[in-house]
Amino acid sequence: MSSRLQTGKSGEDAAIRLLKQQGYQIRCRNWRHKNLEVDIIAEDGDILVFVEVKTRSGHAYGMPYEFVDAVKQARLVRAANQYIAANRYGGEIRFDVVSILYSEKRETYNTRLIKDAFWPDH
């Protein structure tokens, strides 16, 4: 596995730990439909949450959450719509982002949970 892929997987592991600490119930990880993917689908109380995880090993080009741009958000919304349809879900939903800065030198993950990170355009 490449270093970049391993950093991403380790970041997702750190995100899962953070979400569980915050009381989320994890439904699934890396849910896919064709070319769409949701990193984590979880429940926060009675809200279904679609979580995008962004892990970076530095912030020279910006903070990890800044990479969840409009294009990425639109793809996440399309994926969420597919999941909702496939599971016939009719309740409340939310889009969260877990932003992670990984320090290879210290082998630490600085995690930040951003609830209601964005709203889908209709």
pLDDT digits (tens, 9 = 90+) for 11-26: 899 999 999 999 999 9
The number of beta carbons lying within 10 Å of the beta carbon of residue 98 is 26
Question: What pLDDT score does 7 carry?
Answer: 64
Q: What is the pTM of this model?
A: 0.90
Query: What confidence score (pLDDT) does residue 10 get?
Result: 84
Q: Is 75 within a domain?
A: yes
Q: What is the CATH number of the domain that holds 84?
A: 3.40.1350.10
Total domains, the chain: 1
74 inside domain: yes
21: in domain: yes
Which residues share a beta bridge with 52? 97
Q: For residues 52 and 77, what is the distance between their CA atoms, to the nearest angstrom?
A: 11
3-state helix, strand, coil in the chain (%, to 5): 35, 40, 30
**Domain enclosing residue 8, as ranges:** 3-114
